[in-house]
Amino acid sequence: MNAKLAILFLMLTIGTAMPVLLGIRDTFDVQLANLHTGYQPEQPIPYSHRLHAGYLNIDCQYCHTAADQSRHAGVPNLQTCMNCHNTVKGNTTESKERIALLASKFADGTGVEWKKVHNNPDFVYFNHMTHVRIAKNGEGFTCQECHGPMENEGVAHQQNILSMGWCVNCHRTWNEEYKKQGWEPAAPLNCDACHR
C-alpha cells in the first residue's frame, strides 16, 4: 500500500489507539520503512567533517546556515568552501588534488552534487528550526543530540535511526521534562503533527 494511504488509514482506524501502536513500535522497534542507519554514500569529493568541524573547529552553522531559521538545515554551496580554499590549496598531493577539483567545479559553475545521507520519507514533517532554536524554552537541541558526533566523521554517515519510535520516544521524554520545568508540553504525539 502507498505509504500516505497507509497513514491515512491508520489515522482513521486506530489513530485513537495510538499508545498501543506506538507501544508496539517501541517494544519491537518495528521498521516499516528502510531506515538506513549507517548509510554512507560515496561523495563526489570525500569532504571530511573531522577535519573541518573537528580539527579546524568551524561552527556547524557556518556551513549549515539555515538550521535555526527554517525547516531544512541546508548544505553549503561552493562559495562557502571557496572563502577558504581560494587561499588554502592543500599540503599533500591528495589534498591538493581534491581542493583543485573543488576549485574547478566552482570555476566552471558545475557545483558538487552531494548525495543525501539522511532522507526521511516525504510523508514525514520535520522542522530544524523548532528543534534547534525553539525547543526547551528557547535553548534548543545541539546538532549532536540527533546526528551524533559529526565532528569525528570522515565521510558523513547516518548515525541515528530516525524512525518514528525515535521521534516519539524523545517527544515523550521531553514532555515529561517540560512538565517538571512547569512548561506546557509541546512535543506532539498526534499523527497529523508529523504526517501532514
Q: Identify residues 113-142 at the interface with ligand HEC (CB under 6 A).
A: 114, 116-121, 124-128, 130-132, 134-135, 141
Enumerate residues 59-98 that contact ligand HEC by CB under 6 A: 60-64, 67, 72-76, 80-81, 83-85, 88, 90-92, 94-95, 98
Helices 93-107 & 78-85, crossing angle to 10 degrees?
130
Given candidates 24, 56, 100, 107, which one binds ligand HEC under the rule CB under 6 A?
Answer: 56
Does 11 engage in binding with ligand HEC (CB under 6 A)? yes
Question: How many CA atoms lie less than 13 Å away from 72 in the CB half-sphere?
Answer: 9
187 binds ligand HEC (CB under 6 A): yes
Tell whether residue 162 is a contact of ligand HEC (CB under 6 A): yes
CB of 27 to ligand HEC, least distance (A): 14
Shortest distance, position 23 Cβ to ligand HEC, whole Å: 11
Nearer of residues 26 and 134 to ligand HEC, judged by Cβ:
134
In this structure, the number of other CB atoms found within 10 A of the CB of residue 87 comes to: 7
Taking alpha carbons only, the member of 138, 139, 136 closest to residue 178 is 136
Q: For residues 111 and 33, what is the distance between their CA atoms, to the nearest angstrom? A: 31
Per-residue interface string for the shown chain with ligand HEC, residues 31-50, x marking contact by CB under 6 A: -xx---------x-x-xxx-
Q: Give least dist CB 113 to ligand HEC, A.
A: 10
**Which residue in the block uniquely carries the three cell numbers 548509510?**
39
Give the C-alpha distances (Å, rounded to integers) separating 178 from 25, 55, 65, 137, 146.
Answer: 24, 36, 28, 9, 19
Residue type, 21: L
Q: Which is nearer to ligand HEC, 37 or 51 (CB)?
A: 51
